Structure 1
Amino acid sequence: MNKSLASHDAIMKIVKRRGVDLVVFSEPNVRKMQDESWLHDATCSTAVRSFNSNIPIVRHGAGLGHVWLETADILVCSAYVSPNVELVVFEETLYELSRLINAVCKDVVICGDFNTKNVSWGGGVTDKRGLLLEEVMAGLD
């Protein structure tokens, strides 16, 4: 969303009109994240929110560049890693996510913007981050 207030408002209209249960954001509008009941990481760079009170949230939390919520059936993770951070920060974010995912015995949905390139998902080239992300995700099977 690139922190756009207009994008946030447009998406929220769609959420209300269509009765969407869950929304995840990368680079959300920071003011909206703090004003509304969103779960977000410490820097408000990624967020998740349930709009269905009939789906109870069992647990939730946040870590480096990611936030998550867990229901009885599923774990939903939202992540954002800036292209400007060092590779070691990217690796730590992936490590935290993989540790979280390996700790649950249920279906997992991972959403976000990792700012990576990889031919496996349609990129013209594969960069170091793209290769690392592919290896970590493949190891979660």
Structure 2
Amino acid sequence: MQTVRDLKLYLVLISEPYEHLNDQPWETDNTSKAVIWSCGKLPFQTIVNNKSTGFIAASVDGIHIYSCYALPSLSIVEFTDFLDKLTEDAKQHHSVAIAGDFNSWAVDWGSNQTNARGKALLKAFTTIDVVLLNYGDTPTYIKGDASSIVDLTFVSSCFTRRNSDWKMMDIFTASDHNAILWEISCDQKRTAK
């Protein structure tokens, strides 16, 4: 909570939280593993009461924000079903931001190889108008000698690179995942952080 205050964040998307903040504007998917926390000046306009596993969505300042967590234990069929539900919902909205831990690997976002889940994610996201904000090959997940890039951020193409900023933070998170800070804006006005 102190980091959120120090960085003056509007929203926080969390995958697999250690604890839940029941006294905060905090929404989860049905497993409580994908979270959106409204912690600033931008309240939720609408919330998708998601009965599915893997994502929660809320509309904030005209942008439909998705927090995702794809369990690593999902079969490829279950993972594809999760992606189908996510993209079907995202197709209904003009401005979207989709972020989370997808537990997928693809050379497109800096992995050494593309696995079946990475292929499925790439194929599913061709059906919606989004671009990947991740850049570089610095791992988003590090545990001992193991590392990978599994935490991904996609936004509608209307949020071009000149209107967005994405970076991994060098801060303590008590997690084996790095914190990622991203900002998007329309017409030079910052709208989500």
Task: Output the TM-score relative to the length of structure 1.
Answer: 0.82
In structure 1, distance between residues paired with 2:22 and 2:118: 31
Task: Write out aligned runs for 1:1-141 (5 A).
Answer: 12-29=1-18, 31-34=19-22, 36-52=24-40, 54-61=41-48, 62=50, 63-105=52-94, 107-141=95-129
Which structure 2 residue ranges, 5 or more long, are not aligned?
130-193
Which structure 1 residue ranges, 5 or more long, are not aligned?
1-11
TM-aligned CA deviation for residue 36 of structure 1: 4.3
| Amino acid in the other structure paired with 1:39 | E
| Cα contact 1:64–1:92 (8 A) shared by 2 | no
1:23-76: CA deviation from partner (whole Å, max 9, x where unpaired):
0001112x4255644100111111001112x42422112232101111242011
Q: Which has the higher contact order (CA 8 A, sep 6+)?
A: 1
Secondary structure of 2:73's match? coil
TM-aligned CA distance change 1:49 to 1:13, over 3 Å: same
Task: Output the TM-score relative to the length of structure 2.
Answer: 0.61
| Cα contact 1:33–1:44 (8 A) shared by 2 | no
Match of 2:141 in 1: none
In structure 2, distance between residues paired with 1:43 and 1:33: 15
Aligned length: 127
More helix by share: 1
In structure 2, distance between residues paired with 1:132 and 1:35: 37
Secondary structure of 1:32's match? coil
Task: Please say which of residues 111-120 and 33-42 is displaced more in the overlay.
Answer: 33-42
TM-aligned CA distance change 1:114 to 1:50, over 3 Å: same
Q: Percent identity?
A: 28
Secondary structure of 1:99's match? helix
RMSD: 1.6
More strand by share: 2
